[in-house]
Amino acid sequence: MQQKQITITSNTESHGFIYLLTNQTFPNAIKIGQTTRLPGCRMAELSNTSVPLPFNLSYCRFVEKDLTVIEALIHRKLAKYRINDSREFFALELHDAIQKVDQIIDQHFSFKFEDKTYRHKQHARWACLFMYIKVPFEYLTEPVKLTGDNNFRPDFWLPQQDCYLLISQDLLSTPVGRMAATYFAEKTGKVLIVLWDCKPGIEWTDGTEDDMVFHTGWSVTPEGEIDGTVMWGICDECGSRHVGHLGCAELGDSKNRNTSPVNCQCFSPETNWLLLKGYKIVGHIFDGVFI
């Protein structure tokens, strides 16, 4: 296991979108910038009477933190393609620009574990947990194509749970993030689960371990429901690994949204020792101490 050393200081509260805009008026130029709002709003601002034709949003990617640092890093690494030092336009083919921008962002946050490079250390932590509790997963390296030029990249596809998983601390804390997540769930017809820290958390307690919730997160359904009390469960009867509302296999109020492959109706609010040991192992591997 090898951790990438990041030497750039950054503002961890800075999150938003890196975007690429194209314009038929400037066929050989791509604008690369950042915004803390919806990229479409920024595109509309730039598509004013000073340009003959409106801009097109050709790419956008949500950045969890270091937004301003990453934009500066992209501009610096692509400096030889920059048309004017005082403008954010670059002489690149769109496909090449998207590939280079994705690579720069991935390298900034990347973390290597078990001979695989993950975009973020938290992704590697979750992969480690899934390996231990035997949850099959696919780590996604390409964005999921939606409509037109729109795309969205979750971090994992979980085939047994039939849902996408995004590891994000801030996405659903903003109106822009909630819009992006619900749009993705609606267009794909799949549930999107949003989680963050791969370690135990307490949702409620009466002073006993039996009330510990090992991890809480959010679910976004294709019907537009957002619920903030989902957690992993492992059914003692059928062995199903599921993620759902308060430890149930079902997600919120959505009918037929059951993440158990055997459609079990199990409820597991009590301490799950397999999960607890999994979180301890993750803490030991990545932090050197048991949590």
- Residue 65 in domain: yes
Same-domain status, 61 and 168: no
94 and 150 belong to one structural domain: no
Total domains in the fold of the chain: 2
**One domain, residues 136 and 228:** yes
Q: Is 288 helix (H, G, I), strand (E, B) or coil?
A: coil
Final residue in a domain of this structure, among 109, 136, 159: 109
116 and 83 in a single domain? The answer is no
Q: What is the pLDDT of residue 124?
A: 94
Q: What is the pLDDT of residue 134?
A: 94
Q: Cα 42 to chain center, whole Å?
A: 22
The answer to whether residue 187 is domain-embedded is: yes
Domain end position, chosen among 56, 83, 109: 109
Per the CB < 8 A criterion, the answer to whether 32 and 55 are in contact is: no
Residue 149 has a pLDDT of 66
Are residue 32 and residue 135 in the same domain, yes or no?
A: no
Q: Does 117 lie in the same domain as 93?
A: no
Burial 55-73 (b: 16+ CB within 10 A, else e): bebbbbbbbbbbbebbbeb
Residues 136 and 168 in one domain: yes
Q: Within a domain: residue 2?
A: no
Please state, in angstroms and rounded to a whole number, the distance separating the CA atoms of residues 246 and 228.
9
Q: What pLDDT was estimated at residue 49?
A: 59
Check residue 1 and give its pLDDT: 37
Element (H, E) at 24: none
Considering the domain architecture, whether residues 170 and 270 belong to the same structural domain is answered as yes
* Same-domain check for residues 77 and 152: no
Q: Does 10 reside within a domain?
A: no
Residue 1 in any domain: the answer is: no
Q: In this structure, are residues 157 and 127 in contact, taking their beta carbons and an 8 Å threshold?
A: no
Q: Does residue 177 sit within a domain?
A: yes
Residue 6 maps to a domain: no
- Which of 55, 83, 109 corresponds to the end of one domain? 109
Residues 171 and 180: beta-carbon distance below 8 Å = yes
Same domain, 151 and 91: no
This prediction has a pTM of 0.67
pLDDT at 209: 54
Whether 134 and 65 map to the same domain: the answer is no
Are residues 246 and 137 part of one domain? Answer: yes
Q: Looking at residue 255, what is its pLDDT?
A: 66
Q: From first to last of its 291 residues, what are the pLDDT tens digits of the chain? A: 343 332 333 344 478 889 999 988 888 899 999 988 887 777 777 776 567 788 888 888 888 788 999 999 999 999 999 999 889 999 999 989 998 998 898 888 788 888 888 988 899 999 999 999 999 999 998 888 887 767 888 999 999 999 999 998 888 887 878 888 999 999 999 999 999 888 876 555 555 555 555 567 899 999 888 988 888 888 878 888 988 887 788 887 666 688 888 877 776 656 678 888 898 899 888 886 544
Residue 216 lies in a domain: yes
Rg for the chain, CA atoms, rounded = 21
Domain span holding position 69: 16-109
pLDDT of residue 136: 96
Q: What is the DSSP letter of 222?
A: T
DSSP 205: -
Cβ–Cβ under 8 Å, residues 58 and 52? no
Residue of 267, 224, 225, 223 whose CA lies nearest to 244: 267
